[in-house]
Amino acid sequence: NGSLMNQHHSNFIHRRLNSRERREMQKEILSILGLSRRPRPLLSFKRSASAPVFMLDLYRTMASEETGRVRGASLPFHMLPSAHHRPLEESFLSQADTIMSFVNGVEQTEDTFHHKTQWKEFKFDLTRIPRGEMVTAAEFRIYKTSNESFPGNLTLHVTVYQVLQEFHDREPHLLLLDSQEMWPMEEGWLEFDITATSNDWLMNPHYNLGLRLFVETEGGGSVDPGSAGLVGRRGPRTKRPFMVTFFRASQAPVRTIR
């Protein structure tokens, strides 16, 4: 709202700050934000990526709650809006003190010519979690595009596992986290609950070996996730997979010493 912004700016500091005052002010506000320094300059195209767009939608919902307005159905729920698929963020948003999205650091795809089973592996760096925060929910989000090369009524099962232990000479130990059904013609975001895994990774960062995703037919046949329409880190920026985690401040908040 332009008029509102003009009104704000008319009330903004009545004189220009000199450079020292400006630096001091920046330092003070960074301290409030809990940052030791400002993050490095950001490339503008990063803003249009899937995670920032999703987070901006959450921000708008949260901001409307703070200003006392009625919550709108503005959350980016694109796929299967049935009660069974209600995403975690709706119930955890109001309780959350911090929500973080994590970009996918590494994405490996299994060599389909040498293995019967095809999968994608994703890794997220959770080492930068703010102190004094507890995970209340976490989800892995991956976009699915429609694919006409499969029969429309074919049911595909998407399953996400946590990699528990890796070996050089054999398959890793995996822990089943969540699974969903999808159909070739569907398009939208798939959400997988990885709350327990996030807590595990926070407590034991060296166990963070990533997630592994499989796609299978009802008969148990393995399907390449990419050909099934799941978008990876090389896909369009607005549809790349990411992870989102909801935190709540612990009872004894950690305060920055100043």
Provide the binding-site residues for other proteins, judged by CB under 8 A.
5, 8-9, 11-15, 17, 21-22, 24-26, 28-29, 32-34, 38-42, 44, 46-47, 49, 51-52, 55-56, 58-60, 62-63, 66, 96-103, 125, 128, 130
| Closer CB to other proteins, 42 or 203, in the complex | 42
The torsion region of residue 60 among left (phi > 0), alpha (psi -120 to 50) and beta comes to alpha
| Closer CB to other proteins, 61 or 147, in the complex | 61
- State whether residue 60 is helix, strand or coil: helix
Instruction: Determine the Cα–Cα distance for residues 231 and 158; give it in Å rounded to an integer.
Output: 13
Provide, rounded to whole angstroms, the least separation between the CB of residue 213 and other proteins.
21
Instruction: Determine the Cα–Cα distance for residues 139 and 75; give it in Å rounded to an integer.
Output: 15
| Closer CB to other proteins, 28 or 181, in the complex | 28
| Closer CB to other proteins, 15 or 170, in the complex | 15
Instruction: Determine the Cα–Cα distance for residues 183 and 218; give it in Å rounded to an integer.
Output: 11
Provide, rounded to whole angstroms, the least separation between the CB of residue 111 and other proteins.
29
Q: In the structure encoding, which two tokens stand for residue 70, read together? A: 């009625």
Provide, rounded to whole angstroms, the least separation between the CB of residue 105 and other proteins.
9
- Pairing, β 211-217 against β 106-109: unpaired
Q: In the structure encoding, which two tokens stand for residue 232, read together? A: 């990876």
Provide, rounded to whole angstroms, the least separation between the CB of residue 184 and other proteins.
31
